[in-house]
Amino acid sequence: MELFFYISLLITLFILLVSVIYLFIYKNKSSKYPKAPLPPGSTGWPVVGESLEFLSTGWKGHPERFILDRVAKYSSSVFKTHLLAQPFAIFYGAKGNKFLFSNESKLVEIWWPSSIVKLFFSSNTQASSKEGAIKVRKLLPDFIKPEALQRYVGIMDDMARRNFADGWENKEEIVTHPLVKKYAFSTACRLFLSIEDQQHVDKFYKPFEVLIAGMISIPIDVPGTQFNKAIKASNIIRKQLIFIVKQRKIDLGEGKASPNQDIMSHMLSTSDENELQIADKIFGLLVGGHDSISSACTFIVSYLAELPEIYQGVYKEQMEIANSKAPGELLKWDDIQKMKYSWNVACEVLRLAPPIPGAFREAITDFMYKGFTIPKGWKIYLSINSTHINPEYFPEPKKFDPSRFEGSGPAPYTYVPFGGGPRMCPGKEYAKLEILVFMHHLVKGFKFEKIIPDEKIVVNPMLAPAKGLPIRLYPHKN
């Protein structure tokens, strides 16, 4: 009996020991960094977290303050918060950018707030929105690589001439941002969809204005709210795009359109996706192809109005190009390559006023950064604008200095208006071309001054002057 008791005790102890070992191994397998703490920070108020403060700093025109205040408070380049009903890790600085860009699809992947998914993807394609974005990125290089862009220089030049003739010439004052947005949208419609009729473009543009105004509104889908209006506008746009896609499909079948005439034809010719899926992809391209570019062009006008010596440098370079052309001759690819100072100026504008203040990711596994655990499922926000004004990377960060971009330019991962890594914006060269063509016609035609010198800046959803940047025009006599 006593022997049985000792045997039972040994068996029990053995089972307990095995269980403890198993639990220890399992715990280590289920979490790579069980002892690493979460990043410092606050989850804010119940439910809303710190969302209101995060959004309000953008509405007030200083989105970087939310980031920089907490970086200083916690003495850390990564901190936790709670935004948009999600736990977040905020990454700040070049090292954070490098880590995230280098671990795309390994530790993190693209993520969008549910409100954005609801606006830009139909209910039938929301589940595959990430896969759809990957497919679009694979299709785009054929149309926006430098060799392909050479074909668009003349078209963009013609579009810019029309824009300035219709909206700027014979005007004493204009409001810059709305005009630039319509110009960039018209150019996107021409190059992506082959739509040239301006009346068609104008009709198409109206629901886009409503949509964009509701992108960062409070996502409450109740009649009368900004978000509800944005959803209705999204549905109108999608119906129009489906009609355009169906008509193009017919035209391709009848030989009235070519497979390579624009992005839409290419998608229809090389993809087995249906009209709705293609319409959703073009939807995103039209927004990305005009809203960030129009923000950049608007702030280029703003800085050139403030800084006469910078304006003079751009003017000198562009007039040398203009004077080398015959009357009415369109710009060529070689002309664009000569606009080096102008592009340095544009890059400095994008440093100080990046159209998109930051980017979202999602942790697809537990990982550790800077000694802190980032749990699987947490959302990540990498701050672009606050990194751009870090004095460690850019001495006198608030000073406008295009020479920062001479030679090899800023250190890697310190300047990221177009993102980086596998998710580097595929439209970077397209944006560069459109911005430079705009700058050419801007300074060739006008000098200008701000009507509201200290105009407030807002994020809505891109960085923009609150009143649209009204300016007074002084046309050049020649």
Structure tokens at 130: 């990430």
| Buried-state track 75-94, b at ≥16 Cβ within 10 A, e below 16 | ebbbbbbbbbebbbbbbbbb
Q: Which amino acid is at 124?
A: N
d(C-alpha 428, C-alpha 444), whole Å: 24
Report, in angstroms and rounded to the nearest whole number, the Rg of the chain calculated over CA atoms.
Answer: 26
Distances (CA, A) of 442 to 88, 126, 235, 438, 446: 42, 40, 35, 6, 6
Residue whose tokens read 């954070």: 96
Cα of 299 vs its chain's centroid, Å: 16
Q: Which amino acid is at 449?
A: E
189 in a known ligand binding site: no
Q: What secondary structure, in 3-state letters, does the chain show?
A: CHHHHHHHHHHHHHHHHHHHHHHHHHHHHHCCCCCCCCCCECCCECCCECHHHHHHHHHCCCCHHHHHHHHHHHCCCEEEEEECCEEEEEECCHHHHHHHHHCECCCEEECCCHHHHHHHCCCCCHHHHHHHHHHHHHHCHHHHCHHHHHHHHHHHHHHHHHHHHHHCCCCCEEEHHHHHHHHHHHHHHHHHHCCCCHHHHHHHHHHHHHHHHCCCCCCCCCCCCHHHHHHHHHHHHHHHHHHHHHHHHHHHHCCCCCCCCCHHHHHHHHCCCCHHHHHHHHHHHHHHCCHHHHHHHHHHHHHHHHCHHHHHHHHHHHHHHHHCCCCCCCCCHHHHHCCHHHHHHHHHHHHHCCCCCEEEEEECCCEEECCEEECCCCEEEEEHHHHHCCCCCCCCCCCCCHHHHCCCCCCCCCCCCCCCHHHCCCCHHHHHHHHHHHHHHHHHHEEEEECCCCCCEEECCCEEECCCCEEEEEECCC
Beta bridge partners of 384: none
What angle, rounded to 10 degrees, do the helices at 308-323 and 291-306 form?
110
Structure tokens at 98: 């490098």
Residues annotated within the binding site for heme are 425
Residues annotated within the binding site are 425
